[in-house]
Chains A and B, each alone.
Chain A
Amino acid sequence: MTVALAAACLWSCSAAQDKQAPRRITYWEKWTGFEGEAMDAVVDDFNAKEVAHAKVDPNYAPIEVEKVTVSNVEQKLLIAIAGGNPPDLAGNYSFYVAAYADGGALTDLGPMLQKAGFDRSAYIEHYMKLGEYRGKTWAVPIVPASIALLTNKRLFKEAGLDPEKPPTTIEELDDFAQKLTKWEVTLPNGEKKIESGYLPDVPASQKRLLQAGFLPGEPGWWSYGWGYFFGGSLVDGPDKITAADPANLRAYDWVASYSKNLGIDVIKRFRSGFGNFASPQNAFLSGKVAMVLQGVWMHNFIEKYAPGLQWAAAPFPYPAGHPELAFTTNADADVLVIPKDSPHPEEAFEFMKYVSTQPVLEKLCLGQQKFTPLKAVSDHFWSVHPNPYIRLFRELGMSKNAFSIPQTGIWNEYNREMGNAVDLIQNMTQTPEVALTDVQTKMQAALDRNRRILARRDPK
């Protein structure tokens, strides 16, 4: 018995010596929940594949990816890089690529991609470009997203609208929104009744908003970008800010029209009654707002918090007479980056390469209930995808009118400035022209300053 044990140990110990020690790399991931689990599955597959490889080839040292979930990854990653202790690989949002690259926080993936024979034309052009900045490739897209107009079909029916016909023009959206607005009106005799429309003649003290057709501020996640839906843009190339573009002014006049029609205080009071986004009290899920601009992920929240909700998705409407602006959407993506001074850039790149293959991307994007950034899509992907509107969202992502957060190193600052301008416009404290001209002046100065800083750092 003892001899047998000793022999067994001897055999296994010597076998262990033959094997190469695994090459461990750390991967920082931002998602928790089901999105995180989808990435867990990909990491497990990769690690298993590496172990299998090592079994066949004893001289091969398998790569072992350790996934660490990190909240506020966009900030913690910078601090880790600055502190000289970055992870080998990290997931990030595409809109931080420019600021990170300007700050010198990323590894240029170009040489490695070239060596690996990476085919950028396999990707939907728009998403691929998100990782490219100042002529270099800093990030590879893995999970893309797009946004559309979501409508509540039950409320459409109640308002006498055809639930299968979402608005196609902004004018139609405004008309539907008015019809979908419901109030509780207190009559002089104290009696209460429900009325729809905007009721400009009823004083605020005698009416209470029960349901809004549409609110530009709900959820307001893309309020910097309303201009794009009207043919505007926030930047023109890397060196010019165009916040006060005439199309942007038209867009924010439209945003302000909702404050005018419903009343600023009415909207504020109404909105403060909304619950958290990820809860059944969400304004759209609870039927308080009939139409919202939302992303491909909303399907999952509907399933989770309002499983019975009858909803539809359609491209966000375009201004009447401008069909060339149809299919405008925000299209950003989750990306993989290799931080500057990553301890194991080559191993990290191996994992990146693995994730970027079609079957793995499809598994990941299916798990996260989004579409894939690749042009080719398998039939299986379409047939098992739970979101009934997934093809629409992908089509939006491929549209020539897809826009992203501008690739500029001053985006955080620009975003705050736009947020404040939208605040001023929605409160009707300032006209869009005044507010956006102010943003343009300030951000042009900030961009010039950023260029000066970059020039001082690298006089070449």
Chain B
Amino acid sequence: MSSLDSINRRNGLLFCLPWLIGLTVFLLYPLVAAFYYSLCDYSVLLPPVFIGLDNYTDLMKDPLFWKSLWNTTYYATGSVLLGLVVSLTLALLLNTKVKAIGLYRTIFFLPSLMPVVAGSILWLWMYNGQSGIINTGLHHIGITGPAWLADPAWAKTAIVLMAVWGAGNAMVIYLAGLQDVPTHLYEAAIIDGAGFWKRLIHVTIPMISPVIYFNVVLSIIGGFQAFTQAFIMTGSTGAPERSTLFYVLNLYNVGFQDLRMGYASAMAWVLFIVILILTFAATRLSQRWVTYDR
């Protein structure tokens, strides 16, 4: 190896070092440590006691584990689908050539800049059963709205609907994808007599499918980690009747309220594996329908 090579290698490593340290200290170590703790009784205050796979077998028998997993799956499915439809529709609308389009784009993006806590408190007011803006609006068109967050049948749906609030981020990514679609494809389609829907289905969607795939994977991951909204709006118990007890909320209770950090670590690892499987599945599925025009 020449001396230039070794200098380059050293410099290269030096440049990578901050990232390598970050990865090891903040990602790899916690991951491995959490796995070790998941095999222990660990109250944080006292040294961990190794107990093998007990935490995992207990988890399989824990009704709250299953309940929170179901709630989270419901939320993730709802928010992924709703988010996809709403943000893609908005992006399509904002991809038209009208006056002051920049202003519209800003307006629709703004809500996603609001911190989740502030947004949650705002929605808490909007969902108020008696004087909330949503029920007041419904009342004007002759519908008696439910008590939303106080009603076990509606609370989960209410939090799913709220996910639309954050559609701005995905919308911007779709918008970028849409602007990347070559105009000549549309021109050719128009010459062939394709209308709006045909162009959407045969040109636009296939051309932005990598972007759709990216957004879907990200929102699956985000959906399974839902915590803040429920914590702020319905409390750490996941009231009413545990209909909003999300997986991470349950994990928080077990880890930080009950100090059963070993059990909480086991929960975190199961969640990690669930997300891993879903991401893998999405990737496998994507091979069938994602088009890479490169």
Chain A interfacial positions (CB closer than 8 Å to B)? 75, 78-79, 81-82, 99, 102-105, 205, 265, 268-273, 340, 410, 412-413, 416, 419-420, 423-424, 427, 429, 442, 449, 453, 456-457
- CB distance B45 to A103 under 8 Å? yes
* A-contacting 9-mer, from B13-21, B125-133, B188-196, B204-212: B125-133
- CB distance B239 to A99 under 8 Å? no
**Cβ < 8 Å to A, chain B residues 138-173:** 144, 147, 150-152
Task: Give the 3 A-B residue pairs with the shortest CB-CB distance, closest first.
Answer: A272-B129, A273-B130, A268-B147
Q: Which one, B43, B236, B237, B241, contacts A103 given CB within 8 A?
A: B43
- CB distance A265 to B259 under 8 Å? no
Chain B interfacial positions (CB closer than 8 Å to A)? 41, 43-46, 49, 51, 58, 63, 128-132, 144, 147, 150-152, 236-237, 239-242, 253, 256-259
**Nearest chain B CB to A251 CB, angstrom units:** 20
- CB distance B43 to A104 under 8 Å? yes
- B151: chain A residues at CB < 8 Å are 268
**Nearest chain A CB to B204 CB, angstrom units:** 43
Q: Which one, A81, A271, A420, contacts B150 given CB within 8 A?
A: A271
Q: Which one, B58, B130, B237, contacts A270 given CB within 8 A?
A: B130
- CB distance A75 to B43 under 8 Å? no
Task: For A272, give the chain B residue with the smallest CB separation.
Answer: B129
Main secondary structure on B side of the interface with A: loop
**Nearest chain B CB to A454 CB, angstrom units:** 9
- CB distance B253 to A416 under 8 Å? yes
Docked pose: A413 CA to B46 CA in angstroms = 20
- B240: chain A residues at CB < 8 Å are 423, 427
Task: For A438, give the chain B residue with the smallest CB separation.
Answer: B63
**Nearest chain A CB to B133 CB, angstrom units:** 13
- CB distance A457 to B49 under 8 Å? yes
**Nearest chain A CB to B241 CB, angstrom units:** 5
- CB distance B256 to A75 under 8 Å? yes
Docked pose: A413 CA to B257 CA in angstroms = 8
Docked pose: A268 CA to B257 CA in angstroms = 28
Docked pose: A115 CA to B43 CA in angstroms = 31
- B51: chain A residues at CB < 8 Å are 456
Task: For A106, give the chain B residue with the smallest CB separation.
Answer: B45
- CB distance A427 to B44 under 8 Å? no
Docked pose: A413 CA to B258 CA in angstroms = 7
- A102: chain B residues at CB < 8 Å are 43
**Nearest chain B CB to A172 CB, angstrom units:** 30
- B132: chain A residues at CB < 8 Å are 272
Q: Which one, A81, A270, A273, A456, contacts B41 given CB within 8 A?
A: A456
- With A420-B241, A427-B241, A429-B241 already in contact, the answer to whether A104 and B46 are too (CB < 8 A) is yes
Most chain B beta-carbon contacts within 10 A, residue among A81, A340, A427:
A427
Docked pose: A424 CA to B238 CA in angstroms = 13
- CB distance A272 to B241 under 8 Å? no
Most chain A beta-carbon contacts within 10 A, residue among B128, B242, B257:
B257
Most chain B beta-carbon contacts within 10 A, residue among A268, A271, A410, A456:
A268
**Nearest chain A CB to B42 CB, angstrom units:** 10
Q: Would you mind naming 14 contact pairs between A and B with Cβ atoms under 8 Å apart?
A: A82-B44, A102-B43, A104-B43, A104-B46, A205-B144, A265-B147, A269-B130, A272-B130, A272-B132, A273-B128, A416-B236, A420-B237, A427-B152, A449-B58
Give 11 A-B pairs besides A268-B147, A412-B258 with Cβ atoms closer than 8 angstroms: A82-B44, A82-B45, A104-B43, A265-B147, A268-B129, A271-B150, A413-B253, A416-B253, A420-B239, A453-B43, A456-B51
- A420: chain B residues at CB < 8 Å are 237, 239, 241-242
Most chain B beta-carbon contacts within 10 A, residue among A81, A271, A412, A429:
A412
- A79: chain B residues at CB < 8 Å are 44
Docked pose: A273 CA to B242 CA in angstroms = 22
- With A272-B129, A273-B130, A427-B152 already in contact, the answer to whether A99 and B259 are too (CB < 8 A) is yes
- CB distance B44 to A268 under 8 Å? no
Task: For B151, give the chain A residue with the smallest CB separation.
Answer: A268
- B131: chain A residues at CB < 8 Å are 272-273
- B43: chain A residues at CB < 8 Å are 102-104, 453
**Nearest chain A CB to B145 CB, angstrom units:** 10
Docked pose: A375 CA to B43 CA in angstroms = 38
